[in-house]
Homo-oligomer: A and B are copies of this chain.
Amino acid sequence: MNAQHLTHVDEAGAARMVDVSAKEITAREATAQGVVLCSSTVIDLLRGEGVPKGDALAVARIAGIQAAKRTPDLIPLAHPIAVHGVKVDLDVQDHGVEITATVRTADRTGIEMEALTCVAVAGLALIDMIKAVDRLAEIGRVRVVAKSGGRSGDWRRD
């Protein structure tokens, strides 16, 4: 792929879904991360101090997993991919909740968008849970941190 061209638009600039039917099925994995920055009051609530945190983190995890499956419905030019495994970790720290998602497939194209979508939507669902307590909460640093498999090989963000 020529790095000087935008993928997903042809030479006339028209959006298209790039043909991957001739690519091989190989095992692929991608990991993405992001963070929901929020107040210390929210952090206390998510740690269950004083009041039940209940399903709060579960809602975010499940929203992320479901969004990974729905990536081709959300991202117009993304290929449908059979998502074969998803793991979402929510790590409640003092400054916010670090979200890490790892997605695996055996399919014809990369799964980075699924991992990013998983993190972004888990973050949105978490914001929805806490927005009445902290209207300043924000999602930051949603990015791919590692990928393996496929033609372009393994890669890890430094």
- List residues of chain A with CB under 8 Å of any chain B CB: 1, 3-22, 27, 34, 41, 45-46, 50-56, 58-59, 61-63, 65-70, 72-89, 104-108, 112-113, 116-117, 120-121, 123-125, 127-133, 135-144, 155, 157
**B54–A77 contact, CB under 8 A?**
no
**How many of these chains are in the complex?**
6
**A61–B3 contact, CB under 8 A?**
no
Prevailing SS type, chain A contact patch = mixed
**B125–A76 contact, CB under 8 A?**
yes
Q: Beyond A74-B67, A136-B143, is A22–B27 a contact (Cβ under 8 Å)?
A: yes
Residues of B within 8 A of A144 (CB): 131, 135
